[in-house]
Structure 1
Amino acid sequence: MSEAVPLETGHGAVDGALARLAELDGVPVEAHAEVFEGVHQVLRDTLGALDAPRPGLS
């Protein structure tokens, strides 16, 4: 039994990462770790970008 994943967050990178998780049904368990690592990296990069200085904002 899998939990529902939100269809859209409004952030393209996050939505893409969540879509990859939704596609795991039917994928061999051996392949899950690679997908999880990729999704984790996307989410880390997205959150890390929130701390990056943005030109024009003080």
Structure 2
Amino acid sequence: MREILSKEPWWARPPQPGQDESQLEWGWLVHYSEGEPRFEFVHERPTNEQIRQRKGCRIAPSPE
């Protein structure tokens, strides 16, 4: 049986140096358990609040 283990806002492609996260294509990184655990990217944009509150895929500050 397919079960969602976690679902987190994630970018479709890593940002370019200096690129603002508002310019990125966002979706959901979904971790399923079905046989062997697997991940899938779902092209459904999270809300801006969900993006701000995410735990992973942070953009590192640019060195000054």
Q: When you count helix as a share of all residues, which structure comes out higher?
A: 1
Q: When you count strand as a share of all residues, which structure comes out higher?
A: 2
TM class, shorter-length: under 0.3
- TM-score, normalised via structure 2 length: 0.20
- TM-score, normalised via structure 1 length: 0.21
Larger Rg: 1
